[in-house]
Chains A and B, each alone.
Chain A
Amino acid sequence: MELILKIIGIILILAVSTLAGFLKAYCLKERETALNEVCISLKELKERIRLERSKLDRLLKICFGDCLCISGKEPIIKKDGLEDQDKELLYEYLSLAGMSDAAAECERLELYIHLFEEKCIKATEKRSRLSKLYRSSGFLIGLFICIFIV
C-alpha cells in the first residue's frame, strides 16, 4: 500500500512539475504570438486611418476585434498573452489615440509599431532560448524531487 502511494505521489510530482515547465514555455510562445498580432493590428489600423478615416472605435473593432476598445476616455485591453509592460505601452498609445490629424496619427502609430516590433524580436529570442530549458527543467526538477523523497 505504501509503495502504491509512493508511486502515485511520484507520478503526480513528475506530472505537475513537467506541466509547470510546459506552461512556462507556453506563456513565452503565447506572448510572442500576442505581440505579433498586436503589430499586425497596429499596421492595419495605421493604413485604415490613412485611407478610410473612419471613427476610431469602429477601426479598433475591425483591427483588434473584442480585445481592445475605448469606453469614454478609458481604454480597455483584454488581450491574452501580453505582460503588464506590454499592456502599459498599448494603454499609452490608446490614451491619446485619435486626438490628432491623420498624418500625425499615422506617425504616432509608426512609433508604437516600431516599439512593439522590438518587443516581438526580444520575445522570439527569449522563447527560442528558454522554451526547451523550461520544458526539460520542469521534468528534471520533478525527477530530482522524487529521487529526494524516495
Chain B
Amino acid sequence: MANTSSFDSALYGVCERLKRILCFLPEETKAKTDEIRLRSGLPLALTADGQTLFLKPDGQTCRKTSLPLITASKDDLEESFRLLCDNSVYAHTSELENGYIMLRSGCRAGVCGTITENGYMQDISSINIRIAREVYGAADALLGHYKGGFLIAGPPGSGKTTVLRDMIRQLSGEERLMRVAVIDNRGELSGSYLGQASCDLGKNCDILIINNKAKGIEIATRTMNPQILAFDEIATVAELEKVTESFFSGVDIITTAHIGNVNELMTRTVTKKLLQSGAIATVAVLPKNRAEKAAVYDVKEILSGAYT
C-alpha cells in the first residue's frame, strides 16, 4: 500500500475547495507527489517524479495545458496562506522574510508575493508546498565510505537532503550512537515544528534551528560537544570559515552542495576551499535520476586534478 500520509498531512495548508479535490487523488499519485503548487490565476500543479502534472475537473492528472484545468484563484491563495499560518502571520515573520513557512507536518511551503521595504511578505501570488518524505536506507550505499568529513553533492532535486537525513539517522542511531549536532536553518532536515521534530534523526542527535548557519555551527560546536556537525547546503565563505574552525576542533562535518557534476567541485569557490581545507575526506555525487547510483570519490583524487 502506497505511503500517502505525508501528502495527506500537508493538505491542511490548502484551501477547502482545492483540498476536496486533492483528497480524492489516487494513492499512487499521492505517494509520488513531491510538491503541490498553487499559483494565482494559474492551474493547480503537482510535481511527481520530477514531472509537472495538472488536474482536470474530473480529478484526473494530465500534462497538457490546453485542456480545461483546475485553477487556483486569488481567494484560494489567501485562504491557503491563512491556513498555513494558522491565522498567525506574525508568528512566521522570520520564516516569511526567507520566503517560506514550516508546516505542522514537517513539510515546508515556499511563498512568493510582494516583499515590502521592512521585509514583510504580502499579496501572495504562489505557494509551493514541499512534501517531506523520509527514505530509510537512502544512505546505505554511502555509509560504507564514511571515514570522516563527507560532502553530498548533486544537482537540485537529486535527493541530497533525503540522503543527508538518512545518514544522520544512521550515524546517531543505535548501531553507532555518534553525537550528531544538526544545524537546520529552515527546519527542513528535521521537519521541526514548535520544537518537535517530525523526521527521525536518530537517538543521539541535537537539533539547532537558526537562520544564521555560520553562527549555528559555532554555537553547536561550543555547547553540544558533537562528534559530527551536519547541515544542508554549505554556500557562503562565513559558513566555510566556521566549518574549518570546527574541523580543527576535532569535529567531523557532513554537508551538501549544489553542483551539476564532479568537475564543478573545483571550479566553485566555496566547494574548492572546503575540499582544500581538509574538513572533507569523501565526496558523493548524486545523479539527477534518482534510480542511478551515486558516484563516490576520495577528496585526494579530486584535489589532484583527476576530474578537471
Interface residues of A (CB under 8 A from B): 49, 53-57, 70, 73, 97-102, 104-105
Contacts and interface: CB of A to CB of B under 8 A. Distances in A.
Interface in B63-93: 79, 82, 85-91, 93
Nearest to A50: B90
30 contacts: A53-B91, A53-B93, A54-B88, A55-B86, A55-B88, A55-B91, A56-B86, A56-B88, A57-B86, A57-B87, A57-B88, A70-B87, A73-B79, A73-B82, A97-B87, A98-B85, A98-B86, A98-B88, A98-B89, A98-B90, A98-B91, A99-B82, A99-B85, A99-B89, A100-B89, A100-B90, A101-B89, A101-B93, A101-B118, A105-B90
B109 to A, nearest CB: 16
B120 interface: yes
A102 B120 CA distance: 10
Contacts of A99: 82, 85, 87, 89
A53 B91 CA distance: 5
Contacts of B87: 55-57, 70, 97-99
A78 B114 CA distance: 37
Interface in B34-65: none
Contacts of B120: 100-101, 104
Interface string B215-236: 0000000000000000000000
Contacts of B90: 49, 53, 98, 100-102, 104-105
A8 to B, nearest CB: 58
Contacts of B85: 98-99
Contacts of B93: 53, 101-102
B69 to A, nearest CB: 27
A57 B194 CA distance: 14
A105 to B, nearest CB: 5
Contacts of B86: 55-57, 98
A100 B96 CA distance: 11
A70 B85 CA distance: 13
A70 B120 CA distance: 24
Contacts of B91: 53-56, 98
Interface string B105-127: 00000000000001010000000
Nearest to A54: B91
4 tightest CB-CB pairs across the interface, nearest first? A102-B90, A98-B87, A56-B88, A98-B88
Contacts of A105: 90
A73 to B, nearest CB: 7
Given A55-B91, A98-B87, 20 more contacts: A49-B90, A53-B90, A54-B91, A55-B86, A56-B88, A56-B91, A57-B87, A73-B82, A98-B88, A98-B90, A99-B82, A99-B85, A99-B87, A100-B120, A101-B90, A101-B93, A101-B120, A102-B93, A104-B90, A104-B120
Contacts of A53: 90-91, 93
Contacts of A101: 89-90, 93, 118, 120
A87 B1 CA distance: 51
Contacts of A57: 86-88
A73 B79 CA distance: 9
B160 to A, nearest CB: 31
Contacts of A100: 89-90, 120
A96 B89 CA distance: 11
A55 B120 CA distance: 18
Contacts of A56: 86-88, 91
A98 B93 CA distance: 11
Nearest to A73: B82
The listed residue with most A CB atoms (<10 A of its CB), out of B85, B86, B90, is B90
Contacts of B79: 73
Nearest to B86: A55
A55 B85 CA distance: 8
A53 B82 CA distance: 16
Nearest to B90: A102
A105 B3 CA distance: 40
Nearest to A106: B90
A57 B118 CA distance: 26
